[in-house]
Amino acid sequence: MFGLDLSFIWAGIIAFAVLVYVILDGFDLGIGILFPFAHDEGERDVMMNSVAPVWDGNETWLVLGGGGLFAVFPLAYAVVMPALYAPIIVMLLALIFRGVAFEYRWRTRRWKRVWDFGFFGGSVAAALAQGVALGALVQGIAVQDRAYAGGWWDWLTAFSLLTGVALLIGYALLGATWLNLKLQGRIQQHMRALARPAALATLAMLGLVSILTPLQDPTYAARWFRWPSALYSVAVPALVLATAWRLWRGLARGEELAPFLCALGLFVWAYIGIGISFYPMIVPPSLGIAEAAAPDDSLRFALVGTAVLIPIILAYTAYAYWVFHGKIRPEEGYH
């Protein structure tokens, strides 16, 4: 199709699904991470309500990432899941606590604190586990005879812990800027104030991880400075700094939409950077995109529907967001 290999089209689609997941569920999880910063129950209520109608759709992109990998890169799926066994299981269990808290919290008074804590703890653990999984992937996964060939604790290193904390902070930034957009009054001011240190810490983490990444595998540095990705590598510090500056100015001037979009922008730049490091590998250091792909019959069959359905999904997801646009007002809505 258009002279492009099907497996590379699919790698792009999976990468897109994971990116959409990261930025959409990123602010959901960020809200959970920021939950202890609320002053009272009313503030926690509006924080949670700002994503209650959409969180489920946001999380579905994670299922598409996993299910899509299973469908079109079954070998990558079969290698990555056992390699990241512990972080994946922790993430799944954490997402259970986070997900049910959306409903359970409203169904009990005595145990409301329990589910508040479940929402917070689940969000923190899921964010850490995802970040650790990313770090472990960047470090590289040993593959032999179509199977994971490493040990059960290979994923745990100082680097993967660092990426875990980095993602946690990044999600908190997304959450704070989302809440700055959706809430008003004291809690909005509070979240806007929290967004500043979160932004600084995110930048620091981004820099640190970028410096340490080529140490994980020298080919990463080589990939950064080959043509044409070198263009992006040179531009990226400028893009990040410009975005960060716009974010900072937006927060300082009390803007609402711009800081949120800038926070999303930081995630997109970082994500493209990871993509350049990996390409053309799907599981570094040795499993390539074409090699891990399912047979063309599978790729073609899945692509026909995906090409039609993803735009439709994006359209009705956008509609659902539009239906619930605007501020959450704490003084109304409860009767």
Nearer to other proteins (CB atom), residue 100 or residue 276: 100
CB of 248 to other proteins, least distance (A): 13
Nearer to other proteins (CB atom), residue 238 or residue 323: 323
Helix (H, G, I), strand (E, B) or coil at 281: strand
Q: What are phi and psi of 114, to 5 degrees?
A: -60, -45
Q: Write the CB contacts of 140 (distance below 8 Å, at least 6 apart in sequence).
A: 216, 217, 284, 285, 286
Nearer to other proteins (CB atom), residue 210 or residue 298: 298
Angle (CA) 97 100 102, round 5°: 115
CB of 7 to other proteins, least distance (A): 12
The answer to whether the beta carbons of residues 169 and 137 sit under 8 Å apart is no
CB of 301 to other proteins, least distance (A): 5
Nearer to other proteins (CB atom), residue 213 or residue 243: 243
CB of 216 to other proteins, least distance (A): 23
Distance CA 334, CA 123 (A): 26
Q: Report the run of H or E that residue 285 belongs to, with start and end.
A: none
Q: Exposed (0-12), middle (13-18) or buried (19+): which is 244, by Cβ within 10 Å?
A: buried
Nearer to other proteins (CB atom), residue 84 or residue 209: 84
Helix (H, G, I), strand (E, B) or coil at 148: strand
Closest Cα partner for 175 from 330, 32, 328, 60?
32
CB of 239 to other proteins, least distance (A): 21
Rounded to 10 deg, the angle between the 186-216 and 229-252 helix axes is: 160
Nearer to other proteins (CB atom), residue 81 or residue 201: 81
CB of 114 to other proteins, least distance (A): 8
CB of 88 to other proteins, least distance (A): 6
Q: Write the CB contacts of 293 (distance below 8 Å, at least 6 apart in sequence).
A: 6, 7, 10, 72, 73, 299
Nearer to other proteins (CB atom), residue 13 or residue 206: 13
